[in-house]
Every structure is written in C-alpha cells, then in structure tokens.
Amino acid sequence: MTEYKTLKDFKGVQRLGGRLVPKEGSIFILHETAKIELRGVLVTNSNCIFPNGRSTILRMDRDTILKVNGTFSFFYGCDIVLLGGVLELGTGFCNSDTKIRCKRSIKIGNGACIAHNVTIMDTDAHLMEHKDYKMTKPVTIGDNVWIGTGATILKGVTIGAGSMIAAGAVVTKSVPPYCLAAGVPAKVIKEGIEWKRK
C-alpha cells in the first residue's frame, strides 16, 4: 500500500475518456494491483469553501476496482475503503463524512443524493458462526435515490429507483422503487413518491 496526494504516479488509473479532480486534502492509499476506471469525472474532497483541514480518503486494497461512469463527487471528510471487489459510481454525490466499505460489490446509480454521515456497507467485516451466514452481499442503489443524513445501508440491500431513505434509517432489507423508507430497521412508510432536486 502506498499513499498518494495525486495519482500521476499511480499506474492503476485507466482514463477511459474520464478524469480525476482531486481537491486539496485528497488522500489515496492504494495497493499496486488496484484499478481505477475513469469513464466519467471523479471529484474528491469537494465542496470545501476554504481549506479546513478535512480530508477525503480513498483506500483500495489488493485487486480492487473503482469504476467511475459519470460525474461523481465525494465531499470533504468522506472515507471510502475497498477491502475487495468493485465499487461502481454513476452520477451524483456523497456529502461530508459519508463512509463506504466495499468487500464484494456496491453499485450507485445516476442522480444519487447521499447526505452527511451516511454509511454504506456490503459486509459485516467480521465473521459470525451460523450455518446460513454470509459475511458479504452486494448493495445496489438505483437511479435518482436520496439517502438522508445519518442513514445506514447494510449488506444485501437494493434501493429501487426514485426512492428516499429518511434520516437516521437503518436499511437491512431492500426498498422498492418510488418509496419512502424510515425507521430502525427501516420500513416502507409511503409508496408512489416522487422527489426532485431544487
């Protein structure tokens, strides 16, 4: 693992028509076998009005892959760790202090609005002894999904297109499209919703 302030010396970046825009405070901790596929634009440590000492950290372990398909921003204070597998990004943003832990597969679609202090994990990170237990299961966040402040999205969850996750919700089961889910654990409380960014 090597720490980079920029990625000009990292050989694992594939610029497939895209580019990386690392703002001041971006930190990349990358294994030499990691790969970043840039079909779109990835902005890291963005939305700082002035330097504030906060960092966005992207850590990629052995044989991990980050696919950037659209324009996506990680705001200041985000902490993204690929322990294994593939993280795939469409268009949108993760607001400050969002945490992503990817061991197998996390896919975020287009139009993602992910608020402050959200956690998205496809793994428990530790083993539990049980005959039906699986430590990792893929996470899919559909197009035009809004995830509220402090929500947690856990392994095996699919959030359907156009849905909203309320602030503080803990999502342990999949949410259908165009629904509002809230609570701990999260449950669908409204169906047939539609939301729009200002």
What is the average pLDDT value for the chain, to the nearest integer? 92
pLDDT band of 127, cuts 50, 70, 90: low
Which pair of structure tokens corresponds to residue 111? 């139009």
Note whether 103 and 137 are within 8 A (CB).
no
* pLDDT at site 163: 98
Residues 124-139 have a mean pLDDT of 78
Residues 1-29 have a mean pLDDT of 83
Note whether 92 and 127 are within 8 A (CB).
no
Whether the predicted pLDDT of 33 surpasses 70: yes
pLDDT in tens, 140-189: 999 999 999 999 999 999 999 999 999 999 999 999 999 999 999 999 99
The pTM of the full predicted model, rounded to 2 decimals, is 0.92
Note whether 70 and 48 are within 8 A (CB).
no
Provide the CA 22 distance to its chain's centre, in angstroms.
17
Whether the predicted pLDDT of 90 surpasses 90: yes
Residues 37-51 have a mean pLDDT of 88
Cα separation of 38 and 42, whole Å?
8
Domain map (residue ranges) of the chain = 2-191
Residues 40-63 have a mean pLDDT of 88
Q: What percent of the chain has pLDDT over 70?
A: 95
Separation in Å, CA 138 to CA 57, 102, 143, 175, 196 = 22, 9, 16, 14, 27
* pLDDT at site 133: 66
Cα separation of 36 and 6, whole Å?
13
Residue 132, C-beta contacts closer than 8 angstroms, at least 6 positions apart: none
pLDDT band of 14, cuts 50, 70, 90: confident
pLDDT band of 5, cuts 50, 70, 90: low
- The CATH homologous superfamily to which domain 2-191 belongs is Hexapeptide repeat proteins (2.160.10.10)
Of 193 and 2, more confident: 193
Residues 14-24 have a mean pLDDT of 88
